[in-house]
Amino acid sequence: MNIIKKAVRIKEWQRSSKIAAIVIIVIIAVFIGLSLLQLSEEEMMNYASDDVKQMIEEERDSTRKHLTITYNDLGVISYLSFTTSGAAAIKESYVCFLGQVYKADEGAGKLTGQMVNYTYRMLGKGENVLHGVKLTLLLTTASVLIGFIFSIFLALGKIAKNKIISKICSAYIFFFRGTPLLIQLFVVYFSIPGIFGFAWRDLFDTADTEAVYKGAFVAALIAFSLNTAAYCAEIVRAAIQSIDKGQHEAAKALGMSYAQTMSQIVIPQSIRRMIPPLCNEFVMMIKDVSLVFAISLMDITTISKNIMTSEGSYLVFIPALIIYLIITAIFTYIFNKIEIRLSVYE
Amino acid sequence: MSEYQYILKTEHLGKSFGSLEVLKDVNLEVKKGEVICIIGPSGAGKSTYLRSLNQLEKITSGKIYLKDELFLHREHNRTVHKSTPEKQKAMLLEMGMVFQRFNLFPHKTVLENVMLAPTLVRKKTKAEAKALSIKLIERVGLSSKLNEYPSKLSGGQQQRVAIARALAMEPEIMLFDEPTSALDPELVGEVLNVMKDLAKQGMTMLCVTHEMGFAKEVADRVVFMADGMILEEGAPKELFEHPKNEKAANFLKSVL
C-alpha cells in the first residue's frame, strides 16, 4: 500500500524517476499515435497486384490453398506478403509505415519487410507464452526466482555449524558451478526421463501438440533453477558473511535466537548487498536461457537460428541482438532502482 | 534484602584462544546494585571477561553463578554443568550488554532498534513494547530522534540508543564494554551522564572503561585486571591513591 501512496505523490518523486516516467509516457504516446495511422490487413490487401487478388478470390472457399498470406503487425509498422510455391511462384510483399504502403520486394523495402517479419516472429506474437521473448522472460524470471529462494537455504546450509549439512550444500554448489549448464540441461531433459522411464511430455495431455514444448519447458525450468541456485547461493553467502560480526553479537546479547537474528537482522541487511551481483546473475541467466535451443524450445535464439537456416538470412541476428539488449537494459534499470530503494538507511 | 548474596559470581574463570591464555583465573563477586569498573592495560582480558559472562565467548574453565545458582561450570573446555536451556535463556536475559562499537541495527530506526527484542524475545505486544521503548529513549534524551536511522546520529547518540536498547530487555545487570572508547572526546560526556543516571537508580553495572574520572566518581568498587587476572580490587579512592600492586601503580601512573 505504501508504494501506491508514494507513487501517487508525484511531486516527491526523484528527478530521475520523473524523467523516466516522461520518457515512457512519450514512447507510449508516440506508439499509440503512430499505430492509429496504420492500415488494417484488409486495407493493405487492396494494394496487392491483380493476379494475387484474383487468386485470393479463387481460393476463398477452397480448403487447399496455394497462396500463403503473412500479415505481421508490430503496431507502428506492418508487413504483408503473398507467396505461392510451385512453378509460377508469386512473391509479393508490402510494408505499411505512417499510413503509407511501400512495395517490399527488393532493396531497402525488402530488408525492412524482412526485419519486421523476423522481429514479429522472435517476439512470439500471435503465439502462446512458450514462444520467443515471452519464453525467454518467463523462463529467466521463474528460474531466478525459484533458484534464489532455494539459494537462501543453500547459503544458510553452507555456513551452518552442522558439518554434514554444510558439506552437502558445499558439494551441491561445487557440482552445479563446476559443470556446464548445457550438460545439466541435457541430464534433466534426456537422462532423468531415460533412467526413470518417462518422458517430459507425459506430464501433459499428449494429444496436445504443445505437450512436447510444455514438457521441455518444465525440464528447462528445473535445470536452470537448480543451476542458478548454486550461483545465487554463493552471492547470498558472501552477502550474509559480509555483515559485521557485531550485529550477531548484539542480537545474541538481546536474547534473539539464530533464526530471529538471521531473519530480522542479517538477511534484511544483506539483501541490499546482494542486489548488484544478483542483477549480474539475472542478466547472465537471460543469455543462458538461449541454451534451450538445444532442446528445441522456441526462444529468441532458436527462432533466429531457424530463420537463418530456412531462409538463409544472415541479418536475422541483428534484431535478435537488439531484443536481448533491450531486455537487459530494462532489468538493469529495475535492479538499480531496487538497490537505491533499499539503501535508504545508509 | 534480596534472597541471594551475590547477583553474579565467577570462580577461576579461564579462557584460551588456542594456545593464547587470555583469562587465567578470574574471581569476582558482585552484589545487587553495585557499580564495578574494570580497568587495566589493553590485552588484560577485560573485554573477554565481560563477553564470557554473556556467553559471547565460551569459557575454557571456571564457574559462573547467577543469583547464587550455578549457571555454567566448564573444565578443560568441557561442560561439567549447565542449567537447562530455558533457564539459560532466562538468565542471559538478566544481562544487558553495551558494545564499544554500538552495534545498532542500521536498517531499523531508533524506535525499531529498541522495540525489536522486547517484542521478539519477551513476547510483549507491539503497543507495550512501543510505550516502554519511547520511555527509555526519552530517558536517554533522544525523543526527537525516534524515527531516524542510526546512520543519521552521532556516535554519542548511537551509544545512548544502544543503552536504551539493552535496557528495554529490563535486565538486572548491565555490562558495558568500553562504551566510550569509539567516541570523539566531546561526545563522551553525554554517554557517561546516562550511565551515571543508571547507577544512581540502583542498576548493577560492570563497566570496562578507560574513563578514570567516571570510575572514581561512580564506581563502588574498581577492579584492576592485567594478564588475565584480577590483581587488585578495592574502593576507587583507595585503589587510585594507594595502589598496592606494582603493575596497578605503574598503570595508574601512566593514565592519570
- Flag if B89 and A253 touch (Cβ within 8 Å): no
- A161/B contact by beta carbon, under 8 A: no
Task: Kindly state the average pLDDT of the residues A57-71.
Answer: 79
- Mutate: best of A254, A257, A260, partner B, most B CBs <10 A: A254
Chain A positions in Cβ-Cβ contact with residue B92 (cut-off 8 Å): 255
Confidence bin at A257 (pLDDT 50/70/90): very high
Window 148-207 of B, Cβ < 8 Å to A: 149-151, 162, 165-166, 169
**B132 in contact with A at a CB cutoff of 8 Å?**
no
**How are strands ordered across the β-sheet holding A91-97?**
A67-73, A77-84, A91-97, A100-103
Strands A67-73 vs A77-84: parallel, antiparallel or unpaired: antiparallel
CB-based contact, A242 to chain B, within 8 Å: no
Phi/psi at B222 (5° precision) = -115, 135
The CA distance from A270 to the nearest CA of chain B, in Å, is 10
Q: Any chain B CB within 8 A of the CB of A345?
A: yes
Summarize pLDDT for B57-98 with one digit per residue, the tens: 999 999 999 998 898 999 988 898 888 888 888 888 999 999
Give per-residue pLDDT as tens, A186-241. Answer: 999 999 999 998 888 888 877 777 888 899 999 999 999 999 999 999 999 999 99
Cβ–Cβ of B106/A344 closer than 8 Å? Answer: no
Torsion B139-B140-B143-B148 (CA) sign = negative
pLDDT surpassing 70 at residue B2? no
Q: Map residue B105 onto helix, strand or coil.
A: coil
Whether residues B56 and A247 touch (CB distance < 8 A) is answered with no
Kindly list the distances between the CA atom of residue A255 and the CA atoms of A176, A178, A269, A317, B89, in Å, as whole numbers in the listed order.
38, 40, 19, 59, 7
More confident residue, A302 or A57: A302
A265 pLDDT higher than 90: yes
How many beta carbons lie within 10 A of that of residue B149, not counting itself?
19
pLDDT for A229 equals 97
| Domain residue extents for chain A | 1-36, 41-122, 132-299
CB contact under 8 A, A255 and B116: no
> For residue B103, which residues of chain A lie inside 8 Å, CB to CB?
244, 246-247, 249-250
What is the C-alpha separation between A125 and B46, in angstroms, rounded?
A: 71
Which of B48, B57, B120 to probe the A interface (max A CBs under 10 A)? B120
* Cβ–Cβ gap B106/A346 under 8 Å: yes
Helix (H) or strand (E) segment spanning residue A95: strand A91-97
Average pLDDT estimate for B191-205: 93
Per-residue model confidence (pLDDT) at position A37: 82
Q: Is A252 on the interface with B (CB under 8 A)?
A: yes
* pLDDT score recorded for residue A179: 96
pLDDT tens digits, one per residue of A112-150:
888 999 999 998 887 888 889 999 999 999 999 999 999
Residues constituting chain A: 346
Q: Does B129 lie at the interface with A, CB-CB under 8 angstroms?
A: no
CB pairs below 8 Å between A and B: how many? 57
Over residues B151-178, the mean pLDDT reads 94
Backbone dihedral angles phi then psi of residue B11, each to the nearest 5 degrees? -125, 125
- At A287-319, the pLDDT tens digits run 999 999 999 899 999 999 999 998 888 889 999
CB spacing of B107 vs A269 below 8 angstroms: yes
Contact B104, B116 (CB under 8 A): no
Interface contact A268, partner B, CB < 8 A: yes
Which residue is associated with the grid cell 509479393? A92
CA dist list (Å): A142 to A172, A217, A227, B141: 21, 11, 13, 50
pTM of the model: 0.80
| For range A56-76, the mean pLDDT | 80
Q: Do B120 and A264 touch (CB under 8 A)?
A: yes
Degrees to nearest 5, angle at CA A326 with A322 and A332 = 140
Kindly report the average pLDDT of chain A as a whole number: 88
- Interfacial A residues in 183-222 facing B (CB < 8 Å): none
Note the pLDDT of residue B40. Answer: 92
Tell me what pLDDT residue B160 has: 95
Nearest CA to B40 out of B208, B214, B159 is that of B208
Q: Which B-chain residues 17-56 have CB contacts (< 8 A) with chain A? A: 54-56
pLDDT reported for residue A87: 62
Contact A220, A297 (CB under 8 A): yes
Interface test with A, best of B100, B105, B113 (most A CBs within 10 A): B105
Confidence band, pLDDT 50/70/90 cuts, at residue A45: confident
Q: Is the pLDDT assigned to residue B242 strictly greater than 80?
A: yes
Best residue in B87, B107, B169, B170 for a mutation probing chain A (most A CBs within 10 Å)? B107
Interface check for B237 against chain A (CB to CB < 8 A): the answer is no
Please check the confidence at residue A81 and state whether its pLDDT lies above 90.
Answer: no
pLDDT band at A3 (very low <50, low <70, confident <90, very high): low
pLDDT exceeds 60 at position A153: yes
Ramachandran sector of residue B196 (left: φ over 0; alpha: ψ -120 to 50; beta: rest):
alpha
Q: Mean pLDDT score of chain B, rounded to an integer?
A: 92
- Identify the top-confidence range among A205-219, B1-15, B158-172: B158-172
Q: What is the rounded distance in angstroms from the CA atom of residue B83 to the CA atom of residue B156? A: 37
Mark yes or no for CB contact B54/A253 under 8 Å: yes
Res. B195: pLDDT tops 80: yes
* Residue A234, min C-alpha distance to chain B (Å): 23
Q: Which three cell numbers, joined as nine digits, stand for B161?
A: 540508543
Report, as an integer, the average pLDDT of A62-90.
80
Contacts of A247 in chain B (CB under 8 A): 103, 105
Rg of chain A, C-alpha, whole Å: 26
Distance CA B193, CA B180 (A): 11
> Distance (Å, rounded) from C-alpha A288 to C-alpha A271?
24
pLDDT of residue A18: 84
What's the pLDDT at A278? 92
As a whole number of angstroms, the longest Cα–Cα distance in chain A is 88
Question: Which residues face A321 on adjacent strands?
Answer: none
* Cα distance between residue A135 and residue A129, in whole Å: 6
Interface contact flag, B121 A265, Cβ < 8 Å: no
What pLDDT does A201 receive? 87
- A221-243 burial, b for 16+ CB within 10 Å, e for fewer? bbbbbbbbbbbbbbbbbebbeeb
CA dist., res. A245 & res. B57, Å (int): 13
Length of chain B: 256
Chain A residues close to B108, C-beta within 8 Å: 345
Q: How close, in Å, is residue A121 to chain B by CA atoms?
A: 47
The answer on pLDDT for B153 being more than 80 is: yes
State the pLDDT at residue A1.
59
**Would you say residue A26 has pLDDT above 80?**
yes
Instruction: Tell me the C-alpha distance between B165 and B134, whole Å.
Output: 11
Tell whether A265 is within 8 A of chain B (Cβ). yes
Task: Determine which helix (DSSP H) or strand (DSSP E) holds B80, and give its type and residue range.
Answer: strand B78-82
Exposure string of A116-129, with b = 16+ CB inside 10 Å and e = fewer, is bbbbbbbbbbeeee
d(CA B240, CA B249): 8
Residue B147 sits at the chain A interface (C-beta within 8 Å): no
pLDDT at A88: 67
DSSP B243: -
CATH of A132-299, one of 3.20.20.140, 3.40.190.10, 1.10.390.10, 1.10.3720.10: 1.10.3720.10
Interface contact flag, A256 B54, Cβ < 8 Å: no
The ipTM assigned to this model is 0.92
Closest CA to A88 of A48, A61, A52: A52
Give the DSSP per-residue string, B21-41: EEEEEEEEEE-TT-EEEEE--
d(CA B227, CA B106): 35
Q: Do A250 and B92 touch (CB under 8 A)?
A: no
Is A254 in the B-facing interface, judged by CB distances under 8 Å?
yes
- What residue in A sits closest to B100 (Cα-Cα)? A246
What is the C-alpha separation between A4 and B219, in angstroms, rounded?
55
